[in-house]
Homo-oligomer: A and B are copies of this chain.
Amino acid sequence: MVSIVAANFAKFGKREEDIFSISSESAMPIVDKFRDAIDFVVVSNSYSGEFNGISGLNSLLTTHLAMDDLPSMRVDNASGSGGSAILAAKSLVASGEARNVLVIGTEKMTGYPTKKSTGIIASLLPPEERSGGLSLPSLAAFMARAYMREFSPTRESIAMVAVKNHHNGAMNPYAHFQSEVSLEKVLASKVIADPLRIFEYCPVSDGAVSLLVSSDADSSSLANRTVKIAGTGAGSGVSSIASRESLVTIESVKESSAKAFRSSGTKPDDVDIAELHDMASILEIVESEDVGFFKKGEGWKALENGETAIGGRLPINTSGGLNSKGHPIGASGVAQAAEIYLQLTGQAGKRQVKNASTGFSLSMAGFGNNSISIVYGVN
């Protein structure tokens, strides 16, 4: 078994500092404490070339951290990079290639006009869809319309993802947005891609987060409070959205989640707390169904009933999610694991969920091109 023994955030948001400083801000408290144990560094990052004009980021970052002596690699899987990086780190440890892997999820994206940022990120779409002018925000709008047509949710229930996640983010000192937003304000905000509005999309953010992923032999001696990676699953679906059978189901999420539950010997009902990939409001609802938490077409009801709020039966995105915490692409999947670690070890402050012992995270590449699901347990 492999465990997470430490997690630390740099503040997400629009940051003045460069990618080295932000990454270092997240990593240094872990490096200071566990320097001698760390024997490999995995950097989760997608766009250092496009946004920062930097290649070989992993080596430059270990140099910046004065850990030149440690081998490293960069893992990229677009917005699912964090999940893939944890999968790689877990595999390095489980196979004996390393004992204690420092995972640094980082992205520095702000400072460009939104159109340019969106264009860079749209470079993950199939060429034929990209040249047709599609972008990730417009795909989410298609999904919302299809979901509304098929399952007749209240429009309010979809917008409530933003209300709930802003409420949670307001209690997260590392979140990009730390203020509540009312349902009225969400529904009156600017339309980005009809019917979805600006508060229903994640912002463009800078940010970094670090984890220490350790073998069982090491974890118990390194820390008192650790969280085990109980199971993992990677799944994949059709990249071309036009070729998918359904717009209201994400096949890769179903597959990765089924694998993660199988490999951990758990089931969706066992989960006490989950972080999902809410790049757009509708995605949280659709994913909550595809993971298996709710029946298809009923995720919006659970949300409307407060079941996914802190204090509800299954709190989702207690961190604020991508929607409020922000979405520095390479950092997001690592941040999900960090939030689960904080929650399961009782370090989540004002947003602490009581008596949570099983956690779940879903890291997703592109618009569900592939997904990585992880089940966590208390050691």
Contact = CB atoms under 8 A, between A and B. Distances in A.
B126 A60 contact: yes
Number of copies: 2
A170 to B, nearest CB: 32
A125 B56 CA distance: 8
B370 A232 contact: no
A205 B95 CA distance: 34
A59 B235 contact: no
A93 to B, nearest CB: 8
Contacts of A73: 75-77, 84, 87-88
A124 interface: yes
Nearest to A96: B94
Given A84-B73, A370-B72, A56 B123 contact: yes
Given A91-B97, A369-B56, A75 B74 contact: yes
Contacts of A59: 77-78, 124, 236, 239, 365-366, 369-370
A58 interface: yes
Interface residues of A, number: 58
A288 B75 CA distance: 29
A92 interface: yes
B77 A72 contact: yes
B88 A370 contact: no
Nearest to A236: B71
Interface of A: 40, 46-47, 49-50, 53-56, 58-60, 62-63, 68-78, 84, 87-88, 90-97, 120-121, 123-126, 232, 234-240, 252, 255-256, 365-366, 369-370, 372
Given A56-B369, A74-B77, 6 more contacts: A53-B123, A63-B240, A71-B256, A73-B88, A74-B76, A94-B97
21 contacts: A46-B55, A46-B56, A47-B55, A54-B123, A55-B121, A55-B124, A56-B239, A56-B365, A56-B369, A59-B365, A60-B126, A62-B236, A63-B369, A69-B236, A69-B237, A72-B370, A73-B76, A87-B92, A88-B92, A90-B97, A91-B97
